[in-house]
Chains A and B, each alone.
Chain A
């Protein structure tokens, strides 16, 4: 069972959305994250840089032909932090008697 630990770095809405997308992915394309979360290039770069500094995200830049392609993924540390954060949220909800309806 995953230990519960609330993570202040992950929890802000924009970063939570980014990390949640990455949690279901092996690698996610920069444009896919940007369009899914609805951020500008610079805003997303800033958020990814914060997560990268914390060791939660790895950024990969490769060239497809002559065009650069940037993608990101969660590191094992980032994945563990995310799972602990989810466990902490679940504990808070369970303690209150609320439920999250599965979709």
Chain B
């Protein structure tokens, strides 16, 4: 085996960690994306609560175009630069993503139906304000969780 001073080996390992972290950070969905999706949810809900075909049609159009634009921008500017290796995100990551989606959708729908049953005006809008805020705050938390999982699964991880 090559006789390399331990200090040099440690520096090389630190460099490997730093470079792999760079790829993982590149593939992390930015915080603004989650807040955008949350805001678009509210726009859609306003259309639903207004109950006029024109408002609903406009809200659906804004929602679809906004979601496609935001997703397209993130995919184009980040994911196409470096596609993450399979295996970095293990079962825990998949559970975290599915759990996050299920929690947001379940809580938002449950709250909307509850408010509607209670006779509160604009139930979908109010529920989506709560759901959208949870999306913005939870999205950042989800990304931190996924990043931690991926850093733990990279080659040479000390965890």
| Contact between A89 and B158, CB atoms less than 8 A apart | no
- Verify if A61 is at the interface (C-beta below 8 Å from B): no
- In the complex, the number of residue pairs spanning A and B with C-beta atoms less than 8 Å apart equals 114
- Verify if B9 is at the interface (C-beta below 8 Å from A): yes
- Verify if B98 is at the interface (C-beta below 8 Å from A): no
0/1 per residue, B17-48, Cβ < 8 Å to A? 11111111010000000000000000000000
CA distance A28 to B26 in the complex (A): 11
Could you say which interface size class chain B belongs to?
35 or more
List of B residues within 8 angstroms of A16 by Cβ = 12, 15-16, 19
Chain A's nearest CB lies how many Å from the CB of B98? 22
| Contact between A21 and B1, CB atoms less than 8 A apart | no
| Contact between A96 and B6, CB atoms less than 8 A apart | yes
| A interface residues (Cβ-Cβ under 8 A, vs B) | 4-6, 8, 11, 13, 16-17, 20-21, 23-29, 31-32, 36, 82-83, 86, 88-93, 95-96, 98-103
